[in-house]
Amino acid sequence: MALVYVDDLTEGMVLAADLLTPTGRFVLAAGACLQAAHLPLLKGWGIIEADIAADSLDESYTEQQEASVEFQERAEAYLWRRFVLNDLDQEPIATLYRHVTHRAALSLQSGWDPISFRSDSLVVDPEQVPPPLSIPQLLRGDIELFSLPTVYAHIIELLKQPDVSSYRIANAIDKDPSLTVRLLRLVNSPFYGFAGKIDSVSRAVSLLGTNELTNLTLGITVVKQFGQVPSDVLNMDSFWRHSIRCGLFASYFAEALGEKEPQAYFTGGLLHDIGRLVMLERMPQQYAAAVVKARQEHLPMCRAEQECLKMDHSLIGKFLAEKWRLSSALTRMIGGHHSPRLAHYSREACLVHLADIFAHASGHQALLVNEIPELQQRAWTETGLTPEMIAPALVKVDQEFKQIVRVFFAGPDGAEG
């Protein structure tokens, strides 16, 4: 018996076990011989892999596997180093590692050149590094940086008024043409999957509701406001791509678990690392010193922050969320994504913590250090997610990712900038 990915299935292979969709729907029984007509349907049903009887694997499959051995070995060598802080024999890491290794091998075959940070790739003179700022020093002043995005603040004020109409909320958003364009692109993307085109903000409000649209407005305006924090340390394009991927995983997991407003988790995932941008903006030399320590000692970035700066980016993000008076749920997502125990293992903190790990593992963007953060096992068990949900999550996020990236990075003409 062998697990064969859907892309490698061919006519004539025989199932060694019943084939089910990710939702448990029966497709084909053990012993069935795959026909040419089956193959395109399996992808449509979200099937990732199948148990195939070893004696039905033909020479072409064997030759294909032999040809990809080199790329598989390179993928494993690269990802083994990245997963070094995690236990590869324990779920969900074991299943996640298996799938992302296969995906990395395919990317290597297509010419992908993985990123690895060398320990000497960033040089900082310790004598030139000022002492770190305190948290109050970090978050005061610089009104443009730390004030709540204007449109979002206006919507919050409107929502405090009794019986405020959706028309007034839509009108507030319409006053920012750039926000309006991005918002409508997002609402019309596969992320929502509406059958017809949504061509006005007022229509979007009526379909999504004020809470959902308010969260989306927050995410879009923050990305715009913090879009290009100047830094020689962090690639901002990679930062926001990772953040988008984290938001997609968080919303997928929330929906799979039956959360009432799963898209709110997208905003939480999108903004989970916002504290890092504050630290880079306000104390760039001190933060660079923390990055050097993390690379030289192979530490998780949050631990290097704590040792060098006496704080980490999740704590700063939490204080910024409180300063902005964001919802308690968003505050827990941002403040607890590295240490869910500090948020009492709330579902919000646990899901964004897991989404962050999955985004690091499955995306091609390495951020600051090579090592993927350690997955907190209790966060996994508290959510009720299962290893069987991992492969469909990877596929779904990949399907939505490119469209969502265009929403946030495309110019007025729709071209990605």
pLDDT digits (tens, 9 = 90+) for 95-105: 999 999 989 99
Joined tokens for residue 12: 């004539």
Q: Span 279-295, mean pLDDT?
A: 92
Cα–Cα distance measured from residue 152 to residue 215, given in angstroms and rounded to the nearest whole number:
9
Q: What is the pLDDT of residue 48?
A: 82
100-113 mean pLDDT = 90
Positions of CATH 1.10.3210.10 in the chain: 126-147+226-409
Question: Lowest mean pLDDT: which of 88-97, 205-214, 273-282?
Answer: 205-214
Per-residue pLDDT averaged across 300-322, rounded? Answer: 94
Judged against a pLDDT cut of 80, whether residue 212 lies above it is answered with yes
State mean pLDDT over 389-406.
89
Question: With 0-12 CB in 10 A as exposed, 13-18 as middle and 19+ as buried, what is 136?
Answer: exposed
Report, as an integer, the average pLDDT of 106-130: 87
User: Is residue 230 predicted with pLDDT exceeding 70?
Assistant: no
Two structure tokens written together for 349: 């903190």
Range in 15-29, 97-111, 388-402 with the lowest mean pLDDT: 15-29
Burial class (CB in 10 A: 0-12, 13-18, 19+), 194: middle
Reply yes or no on whether the pLDDT at 186 is more than 80: yes
- Cβ neighbourhood burial of 364 (10 Å; 0-12, 13-18, 19+): middle
pLDDT for the residue 317: 94
Residue 360 — very low, low, confident or very high, per pLDDT cuts 50/70/90?
very high
175/153 Cα distance (integer angstroms): 14
pLDDT in tens, 264-276: 899 999 999 999 9
Contacts of 347 (CB under 8 A, 6+ apart): 257, 259, 382, 383
Residue 393 confidence class, pLDDT cut points 50, 70, 90 = very high
Instruction: Give which of 367, 339, 370, 369 is closest to 353, Cα–Cα.
Output: 339
**Which carries the bigger pLDDT value, residue 247 or residue 232?**
247
pLDDT band of residue 9 (cuts 50, 70, 90) is confident
Mean pLDDT of 113-119: 87
DSSP secondary-structure letter at 147? Answer: S
Burial 321-342 (b: 16+ CB within 10 A, else e): beebebbebbbbbbbbbbbbeb
Q: Which tokens in the block code for residue 29?
A: 């029984």
25, pLDDT greater than 90: no
Per-residue three-class SS string for 32-54: CECCCCHHHHHHHCCCCEEEECH
The pLDDT score that the predictor gives to residue 324 is 85
Residue with tokens 């929403």: 407
Indicate where the chain has its CATH 3.90.105.10 domain(s).
1-67
Decide if pLDDT at 143 tops 50.
Answer: no
Instruction: Name the pLDDT band for 144 (thresholds 50, 70, 90).
Output: low
Confidence of residue 325 (pLDDT cuts 50, 70, 90): confident
Instruction: State the pLDDT at residue 44.
Output: 75
Predicted pLDDT of residue 145: 58
Contact 362, 103 (CB under 8 A): yes
Between 59 and 236, the more confident residue is: 236
How confident is the model at residue 124, as a pLDDT? 86
How many other CB atoms are there within 10 angstroms of residue 11's CB atom? 12
Mean pLDDT of the region 133-141: 83
Question: What's the average model confidence in pLDDT over 33-62?
Answer: 81
Residue 414: strand, helix, or coil:
coil
Contacts of 173 (CB under 8 A, 6+ apart): 151, 155, 179, 180, 183, 201, 213, 217
Share of the chain above pLDDT 90, in %: 39
Of 242-246, 262-266, 309-313, 363-367, minimum mean pLDDT range: 363-367
**Average pLDDT of 189-200?**
83
Higher pLDDT, 378 or 198: 378
Task: For domain 1-67, give the CATH superfamily.
Answer: Molybdopterin biosynthesis moea protein, domain 2 (3.90.105.10)
Q: Say what angle helices 210-225 and 166-174 make with each other, to 10 degrees.
A: 20
- Helices and strands counted in the chain (H then E): 21, 4
Name the class of domain 126-147+226-409. mainly alpha
Mean pLDDT of 256-264: 89
Half-sphere exposure of 46 (CA within 13 A, CB side): 19
Euclidean distance between CA atoms 336 and 272, whole angstroms = 9
Whole-angstrom distance, CA of residue 376 vs CA of residue 154: 38
